[in-house]
Amino acid sequence: MNQETLTRGQLAKQSGKTFETIRFYEEKGLLTHAYRDSSNYRRYRASDSDRLIFIEKAKQLGFTLREIGEILDLHDREAGACKTLAQKAQRKLAEIDQQIADLERRRELLKRFDSCDALDLVDCDCDVIEHAKNGAADCDC
């Protein structure tokens, strides 16, 4: 091969990933399958280290392995990758915005329940079930 190659150990050290992680991503198709050299060692492309780092960063952003695979496939083909990636990022951002809104609603509901001084829900002045169902803003606990 013309380009620099790495053993699995070298790739693991360079990328900060474990052997198991490298094997897993290879099995999932996120990494090109390593070839075996004349000594029967697995050899990976030096660029696979960058690929592993990208996979980790994309996971941190909330992309699924399937979505990451699609992005990497686009990158490998270089056909409209930037535009498609931007669209995927916009969809992911919308998902995150929705999750944040859901968490904020849950937080407000929990704050209302926390303000009830009664020792038992039966003794609480506010109708906890009704407030939960309607997502009411005020609780007179």
pLDDT of residue 2: 46
pLDDT of residue 135: 58
Domain boundaries, the chain: 1-62, 80-141
Those residues with Cβ within 8 angstroms of residue 88's Cβ, 6 or more apart along the chain or in another chain = 63, 67, 70, 71
Please identify which residue in the block is written with the tokens 């995150």. Answer: 96
Q: What is the pLDDT along the chain (141 residues), one digit of tens a residue?
A: 446 899 999 999 999 999 999 999 999 999 988 889 888 888 999 899 999 999 999 999 889 999 999 889 888 887 667 777 888 889 999 999 999 999 998 888 777 766 666 555 555 656 656 666 665 555 555
Return the axis-axis angle of helices 19-27 and 47-60, rounded to nearest 10°.
90
In this predicted model, what pLDDT tens digit does every residue of 36-57 receive, in sequence order? 988 888 899 989 999 999 999 9
Burial class (CB in 10 A: 0-12, 13-18, 19+), 99: exposed
Angle (nearest 5°) at CA 57 between 65 and 49: 90
Tell me: domain 1-62, CATH 1.10.1660.10, correct? yes
User: What's the farthest any 2 CA atoms get from each other in the chain?
Assistant: 78
pLDDT of residue 129: 62
pTM: 0.66
Which ranges in the chain belong to alpha helices (H)?
8-15, 19-27, 47-60, 65-77, 81-114, 128-134
